[in-house]
């Protein structure tokens, strides 16, 4: 069922960030940094996969994501909802259900046997596809997924995520240059604002996280 209420984007961002804190999907640890997939250190970490285990919050955020996409792109802008392997698959299914649209998913690489396909499910030429993922950092994986979708003859000009880092200035440029519009619910700045409002950490921790968000490359270089 398509949601009919339209909270403001700012209210969606605030509530989404608060819900991520509620289920401990976000973490701050400047003194003992996390190691990212890139191998670089970070005082922040987010795990949107946890959302699938919290049905009330999961449902609310999927309502928010559906509303955000429809408000930004239009109510009749898509014919197919594609999830990126693996984290985007459950969220794509939930958005597709709300929008009453077919759902597919995109592999990171061909599976190496059978049809050797990257697209699973039915995607046809001329369909307008929305790519759904859990989050985006620098946008690199989104470009790869979109290229796989476009190779089918379908079009893909939009991607929707629950969480957008919003700390790497090249991200939107990279996506824009590839003809992709990004839609998201909240960012690290929204998460930080909730942490400050709730006094979840001491001032030193919050200040250090803010230093990282303002210049992540310099912060990471200082840790080496």
Per-residue model confidence as pLDDT tens digits over 13-56: 999 999 999 999 999 999 999 998 778 899 999 999 999 999 99
Residue 98: CA atoms inside 13 Å, Cβ hemisphere, count? 23
Q: How far apart are CA 35 and CA 88, in angstroms?
A: 22
Domain that holds residue 36: 9-223
> pTM of the entire structure?
0.94
Q: How far apart are CA 24 and CA 18, in angstroms?
A: 10
Structural domain contains residue 98:
yes
Number of domains in the chain: 1
Q: How far apart are CA 81 and CA 127, in angstroms?
A: 10
Quick check: 79 pLDDT over 80? yes
Percentage of the chain surpassing pLDDT 90? 86
Of 185, 112, 171, 121, nearest to 143 by C-alpha is 171
Structural domain contains residue 4:
no
Structural domain contains residue 209:
yes
Quick check: 1 pLDDT over 80? no
Structural domain contains residue 60:
yes
How far from the centroid of its chain's Cα atoms is residue 223's Cα?
27
What average pLDDT does this structure show over 178-195?
A: 98
Structural domain contains residue 1:
no
What average pLDDT does this structure show over 197-224?
A: 95
Structural domain contains residue 93:
yes
pLDDT at res. 6: 79
**Average per-residue pLDDT in the chain?**
94
Structural domain contains residue 3:
no
Would you place residue 5 in the very low, low, confident or very high pLDDT band (cuts 50, 70, 90)? low
The CATH number of the domain holding residue 130 is 3.40.50.2020
How far from the centroid of its chain's Cα atoms is residue 91's Cα?
10
Structural domain contains residue 154:
yes
């Amino acid at each position: 069922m398509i949601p009919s209420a339209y909270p403001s984007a700012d209210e969606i961002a605030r509530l989404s960030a608060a819900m991520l804190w509620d289920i401990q999907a976000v973490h701050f640890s400047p003194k003992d940094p996390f190691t990212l997939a890139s191998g670089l250190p970070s005082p922040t970490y987010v795990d949107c996969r946890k959302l699938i285990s919290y049905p009330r919050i999961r449902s609310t955020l999927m309502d928010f994501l559906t509303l955000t996409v429809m408000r930004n792109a239009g109510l009749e802008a898509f014919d197919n909802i594609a999830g990126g392997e693996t984290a985007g698959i459950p969220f794509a299914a939930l958005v597709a259900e709300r929008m009453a649209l077919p759902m597919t998913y995109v592999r990171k690489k061909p599976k190496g046997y059978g049809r050797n396909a990257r697209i699973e499910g039915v995607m046809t030429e001329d369909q307008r596809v929305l790519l759904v993922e859990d989050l985006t950092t620098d946008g690199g994986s989104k470009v790869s997924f979109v290229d796989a979708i476009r190779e089918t003859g379908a079009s893909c000009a939009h991607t929707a995520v629950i969480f957008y880092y919003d700390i790497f200035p090249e991200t939107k440029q990279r996506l824009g240059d590839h003809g992709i519009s990004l839609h998201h619910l909240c960012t690290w700045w929204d998460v930080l604002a909730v942490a400050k409002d709730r006094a979840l950490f001491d001032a030193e921790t919050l200040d250090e996280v803010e230093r990282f968000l303002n210049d992540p490359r310099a912060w990471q270089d200082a840790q080496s």
